[in-house]
Amino acid sequence: MNIFFWLTSSILFVLFLTPSAHANIVVLGDLTRDYKMKPGQTYEAMIELENRDSRLKKVQIYQTDYRYLASGDNFFPPAGTYKRSNAAWITYSPKIVSVPPGHRSQIKYLIRAPKDQTKSGTYWSMLMVQDVRELPSDDTGPNTLQLIPTFRYGVQIITQISNTGKIALEFTSVNVVNRKSKRFLVIDLENKGTRHAKSDLWVEVFNNKGEKVGRFITDPGRILPGCSIRREIDISSLPKGRYTSLVISDCGHKDVFGLELKLVLQ
């Protein structure tokens, strides 16, 4: 069954408020770690920190769960909150580490996949790396309160149980947006399955004669189960008019999802 959306150009205003901070502790390597594991398997790895400040830094490590939505909302509830959390599978040490100036330190962690054969698909959680705030020793007076810049890194630990689980993508929202003399097709995708998806996303556009007039692509995205992403496809080169289009999300193998659209560009 084909699903049709009639889309008309509209204007969307988005305000981003982004605080800036300068972190003197740096997490080296990837902030997303993927592990394909069998039930009962263990895997040991580490997170390496580097202190690029001129002072000693104390760093705290703790766990949270993580979920993100196409709206831009991110959630970090206590470890073990979500059904697909793997926080209980992970042990790590130390919980607090002091890193001298110009030096590196390591946080070692061990993943133990449950022997439970009923576990299927993708599970994940976060190891948060955050500085320990302390008042400096050179306070200028007894009533002086100094604010210490803080940082927090999230290292995402993703475990995939063998080749189990299912990807189930759904197009939850599609809109045409005009912004700064450009036109975008804005697509929200949600993974309602149990296995994470790495989606390549593009749209094929055809005129009223059935002739292909363009293929437009956007950046790929990872979608964990129960999460959603938003992607924008630049279609500014399309003249005003009516088109038929096919949005395609290719997650590899046989996991390909499509949505047929009627575009009305004004």
Domain limits, the chain: 6-15+166-265, 25-134+149-161
Q: What is the average per-residue pLDDT within 203-230?
A: 94
How far, CA to CA in Å, does 107 sit from each of 50, 55, 244?
11, 20, 53
Bridge partner list, 153 = 129
Summarize pLDDT for 218-244 with one digit per residue, the tens.
Answer: 999 999 999 999 999 999 999 999 999
Task: Please report the pLDDT score of residue 23 as a whole number.
Answer: 59
Q: What is the average per-residue pLDDT within 117-145?
A: 77
Residue 188 has pLDDT above 60, yes or no: yes
Bridge partner list, 43 = 111
> Maximum distance among all alpha carbons in the chain?
79
The helix (run of H) or strand (run of E) holding residue 37 is strand 32-37
CB 265 within 8 A of CB 240: yes
CB 259 within 8 A of CB 247: yes
Q: What is the average per-residue pLDDT within 120-147?
A: 74
Residue 105 has pLDDT above 80, yes or no: yes
Closest CA to 205 of 261, 266, 257: 261
Amino acid at 244: T
Question: What is the C-alpha end-to-end distance of the chain, expressed in Å?
Answer: 28
Rounded to whole angstroms, the Cα distance separating 124 from 130 reads 19
For β-strands 152-161 and 67-68, DSSP reports them as unpaired
What is the share, in percent, of the chain residues with pLDDT greater than 90? 75
Residue 152 has pLDDT above 90, yes or no: no
Torsion, Cα 232 13 70 7, to 10 degrees, reads: -60
When pLDDT is cut at 50, 70 and 90, the band that residue 144 belongs to is low
Closest CA to 7 of 182, 260, 200: 260
Residue 115 has pLDDT above 70, yes or no: yes
Q: Which two tokens stand for residue 220?
A: 């790929």
Give the residue carrying structure tokens 């890194």: 153
As assigned by CATH, the class of the 25-134+149-161 domain is mainly beta
Q: Which two tokens stand for residue 258?
A: 């499509």
Closest CA to 243 of 258, 263, 216: 263
Rounded to whole angstroms, the Cα distance separating 100 from 56 reads 5
CB 159 within 8 A of CB 124: yes
Phi–psi pair at 89, nearest 5 degrees: -85, -10
Task: Please report the pLDDT score of residue 24 as a whole number.
Answer: 85
Q: What is the model's pTM?
A: 0.83
Bridge partner list, 105 = 49
Rounded to whole angstroms, the Cα distance separating 124 from 77 reads 13
When pLDDT is cut at 50, 70 and 90, the band that residue 142 belongs to is low
When pLDDT is cut at 50, 70 and 90, the band that residue 139 belongs to is low
Fold of 6-15+166-265: Immunoglobulin-like (2.60.40)
Please indicate whether the domains covering 6-15+166-265 and 25-134+149-161 agree at the CATH topology level.
Answer: yes
Task: Please report the pLDDT score of residue 4 as a whole number.
Answer: 39
Task: Please report the pLDDT score of residue 239 as a whole number.
Answer: 92
Task: Please report the pLDDT score of residue 44 as a whole number.
Answer: 97
Residue 154 has pLDDT above 80, yes or no: yes
